[in-house]
Copies of this chain bind each other. A is one copy, B any other.
């Protein structure tokens, strides 16, 4: 039987990734293509045009998720999906998300080039606002698609400029007038998300394919510290209610608490100071906390410690902690993990099981259909950074595994876990 992976073209995949990286290109080689911005709208138009040139049918939904559908023999069966996201961090790289979407294009083209027509439709998907840097929290598109959140819940979230996510979605959908809209929560037979590892393990071990076993648990918080504005030159220390000094004490203590165990990931990535003027004692500070660990018990213990620290270090200020996200650790479908490992093995590609330290849209899809992820190495584990880099051969290997897995899923051969 023809093997789709034989028709994967690594050079074409690389060229298309570089083409996509022009949308929102940064001078330092990175990408700033934050969700629902003009840069992403342009990238989206590019993908719709590319899909149409390949005979794929574009669809969207009220969450601005983008689907490019390759029809199968049986339109009555739910489709199999492959893809990721095309939005980036403000100082993002060229591969995070983009690789998953462009690898899905490659898989569909390879299946066709092999002269094969699948039973089920295959859809390439790019979910909206995976990153959550402009509108927080992220995973907006996959949350809406799977019903975790509703449009009403996400529409009012504002970016730093005060624009609501609802208005930003409307602007994107207006630019997609010729793309038909479908409802959320359509049945899906399976989802596969290829992605760079965003960690150092595969590169260190010299293994091109990671069979992702699951995703580590995450809690995300916002802490607001409220003090009182005062003149920097006149207000006495004992009279001050300095929101920044209270926040600094909290962050330093939280960082110390998270030093054990050593594989805890604790990040304060965002801090907003009001009024943020050099000669004014800060009246208010808002900061983010991102806490992750593979062991749910560790996350839960640190959750309690963080709450205690915020209270203990607030001094004369008021403080409130709001948990905005809590995702326990999850384990992906054993059948899909086996399908990925089998495809890699048949291609002679070294592979290993690996836990995803980062969240992905696959978390949301996991709740509604058999879901898996294919990791490929990235240099030094660097991601969310303009220096992000992956080797063309590794990306091609990931696309080859994806092509064979998608064909497998779309024909139903030997895939017991695929919903009928």
Which A residues lie at the B interface, using CB under 8 A?
89-91, 131-133, 136, 138, 197-200, 216, 218, 220, 228-239, 242, 244-245, 248-249, 251-252, 255, 258-259, 262-283, 288, 290, 292, 356-359, 381-386
A222 to chain B minimum Cβ distance, whole angstroms, is 8
> Provided the pairs A231-B198, A244-B269, A274-B91 are in contact, do residues A384 and B279 lie with their beta carbons within 8 angstroms?
yes
**7 nearest A-B pairs in the assembled complex, by CB-CB distance:** A233-B358, A232-B267, A278-B288, A133-B277, A234-B357, A199-B234, A229-B385
Residue of B with least CB distance to A238: B262
Shortest CB distance A141–B (Å): 16
Which residues of the partner chain B approach A267 to less than 8 Å between Cβ atoms?
232, 242, 278-281
| Interfacial chain B residues near A239, Cβ < 8 Å | 200, 381
Contact B277 A234, beta carbon cutoff 8 Å: no
| Of the residues B228, B245, B290, contact of A278 by C-beta under 8 Å | B290
Given A278-B132, A281-B267, A281-B269: A233 and B259 within 8 A (CB)? no
Pick the contact of A237: B231, B232, B264, B281 (CB < 8 A): B264
Question: Given the complex, which residues of B lie within 8 Å of A238, measured CB to CB?
Answer: 262
Please give 17 more A-B residue pairs, beta carbons under 8 A apart, in addition to A267-B280, A270-B273: A89-B229, A91-B277, A91-B280, A132-B278, A133-B275, A199-B235, A230-B383, A230-B385, A237-B259, A245-B251, A248-B252, A252-B252, A269-B273, A269-B281, A269-B282, A270-B277, A279-B290
- CB–CB B91/A229 < 8 A: yes
Q: Which residue on chain B has the smallest CB distance to residue A236?
A: B263
Tell me, rounded to whole Å, the shortest Cβ–Cβ distance linking A282 to chain B. 6
Chain B residues whose C-beta falls within 8 Å of the C-beta of A89 in the assembled complex? 229, 275, 277, 279-280
Q: Are B231 and A283 in contact, CB atoms less than 8 angstroms apart?
A: no
User: Could you pull out 14 A-B pairs where Cβ atoms are within 8 angstroms?
Assistant: A91-B283, A132-B278, A132-B279, A229-B384, A231-B357, A232-B290, A232-B292, A248-B252, A269-B275, A269-B280, A270-B276, A270-B278, A279-B290, A279-B384
Identity of the chain B residue whose Cβ is nearest the Cβ of A283 in the assembled complex: B91
Cβ–Cβ < 8 Å partners of A252 in chain B: 245, 248-249, 252
Selected contact of A269 from candidates B264, B270, B278, CB within 8 Å: B278
Within the complex, what minimum Cβ distance (angstroms) separates A44 from chain B?
21
The contact of A271 among B132, B276, B386, by CB within 8 Å, is: B276
User: Which residues of B sit under 8 angstroms from A234, Cβ to Cβ?
Assistant: 197-199, 265, 357-358, 381, 383
Q: Given contacts A244-B271, A252-B248, A263-B236, is CB(A384)–CB(B276) below 8 Å?
A: no
Which residues on B sit within 8 Å (CB–CB) of A138?
Answer: 279
A265 to chain B, nearest CB (A): 6
Residues of B within 8 A of A358 (CB): 231-234
Q: Are A269 and B232 in contact (CB under 8 A)?
A: yes
Give the residues in chain B near A231, CB-CB below 8 Å: 198-199, 357-358, 383-385
Q: In the complex the two chains form, is A255's CB within 8 Å of B259's CB? A: no
Contacts of A262 in B (CB 8 A): 236-238
Give the docked Cα–Cα distance between A218 and B231 (Å): 13
The reply to whether A198 and B244 contact each other, CB–CB distance below 8 Å, is: no
B residues within 8 A CB of A274? 91
Taken together as a complex, chains A and B put the C-alpha atoms of A278 and B133 apart, in Å, by 7
Give the residues in chain B near A264, CB-CB below 8 Å. 237
CA distance A280 to B388 in the complex (A): 13
* A271-B276, A273-B271 given; A235·B265 CB < 8 A: yes
